[in-house]
Amino acid sequence: MATDAPQPPGRTDDSPVQPTTEAFIEAQNSAEFAELRRSYRSFAFPLTLGFIAWYLLYVLLSSYAGDFMGTVVVAHFNVAFVFGLAQFATTFLIAWLYSRHASTKLDPKAEAIKSRMEADA
C-alpha cells in the first residue's frame, strides 16, 4: 500500500507510531513511572546488597578462616565447597525471584505506560 507522506527512516506502515521526546519526558515525570521505579528499586537494591554481603562473607571466610572453611562436612566436601555451591544456588534463586517479580509487578505497570504512550502518539 503506497502512501503520499514520506516515512521516517526505519518505519513501515505496520510499525507502531513512536512517541515524541516530550511524551517520554512527561511519562518519566509521571507518578505511574515513579511507582514503577519504586517497585523495581525496592526489590533489586536489597537483594543486590544482600548478595554482595553474602559473597563478601564467602571471600573473607576463605581468606581469613581457612581452618573453618576446611572443615569437612560430608565425605570429601568441606565448608568452602558447600558455600561455593550455595553461591550458585543463590544466584539462580535471585534470578528466579526477579523473573517472578518482574512478570507480576513490573511488566503490567510498564505495559500500561507503554500502551498509554503509544495511544497518545
Mean pLDDT computed over 46-68: 96
Give percent of the chain with pLDDT exceeding 70.
86
Report the predicted TM-score, pTM, of the whole model to 2 decimal places: 0.74
When pLDDT is cut at 50, 70 and 90, the band that residue 19 belongs to is: confident
What grid cell was written down for 72? 569437612
Q: Helix, strand, or coil here: 105?
A: helix
pLDDT of residue 87: 96
